[in-house]
Amino acid sequence: QLSKRSDKIGNSFVKDIDVDSLDYFLKALAPIVHEPRRSLLDVLLENDNTKAKRRFIHDYWKETSGSGAEAAMAAYMKIARAVDHNFFNGTSYGFDTDMGYVFLRYGKPDDAMVVDNELSAFPYQIWRYNKVLSTGENNVKFLFFAPSLSHRDYRLLHSTCRLENQNLSWEAELYKKNPEEIVGNPSEVRTTNDGFTRRARDLWNDF
Residue 85 shares a structural domain with residue 145: no
Tell me the pLDDT tens digit for each residue of 32-60. Answer: 999 999 999 999 999 999 999 999 999 99
Which residue from 49, 21, 55 is spatially nearest to 37, judged by alpha carbons?
55
Report if residue 58 sits inside a domain.
Answer: yes
Tell me, yes or no, whether 84 and 128 share the same domain: no
> Is 22 inside any structural domain?
yes
Phi-psi region of 35 (alpha: psi -120 to 50; beta: other; left: phi over 0): beta
Domain that holds residue 45: 2-90
pLDDT given at position 3 = 46
Task: Report residue 192: phi and psi, to 5°.
Answer: -135, 170
198 shares a domain with 129: yes
- Burial bucket for residue 84 (CB in 10 Å: 0-12, 13-18, 19+): buried
Residue 101: inside a domain: no
Considering 90, 121, 139, which residue would you say is the last residue of a domain?
Answer: 90
CA-nearest of 138, 130, 127 to 103 is 127
Query: pTM of the prediction?
Result: 0.86
Q: Are 160 and 141 in contact (CB under 8 A)?
A: yes
Q: Is residue 96 part of a domain?
A: no
The residue among 203 and 12 whose pLDDT is bigger is 203
**Residue 99 placed within a domain:** no
Instruction: Let me know whether 77 and 115 are in one domain.
Output: no
Question: Domain check: are 47 and 127 in the same one?
Answer: no
What total number of domains does the chain contain? 2
CB within 8 Å of 44: residues ≥ 6 apart: 26, 52, 53, 56
Distance CA 58, CA 80 (A): 17
Instruction: Judge whether 95 lies within some domain.
Output: no
Residue at 63 is within a domain: yes
> Are 155 and 144 contacting, i.e. CB atoms less than 8 angstroms apart?
yes
Pair (115, 197) in one structural domain: yes
pLDDT (tens digit per residue) in 115-132: 999 988 999 999 999 999
On whether both 83 and 140 belong to a single domain, the answer is no
Identify which has the larger pLDDT, 118 or 9: 118
> CB burial class (10 A; 0-12, 13-18, 19+) of residue 161?
buried
Domain shared by 75 and 141, yes or no: no
pLDDT at site 1: 42
The reply to whether 103 falls in a domain is no
Query: Is the domain of 75 the same as that of 161?
Result: no
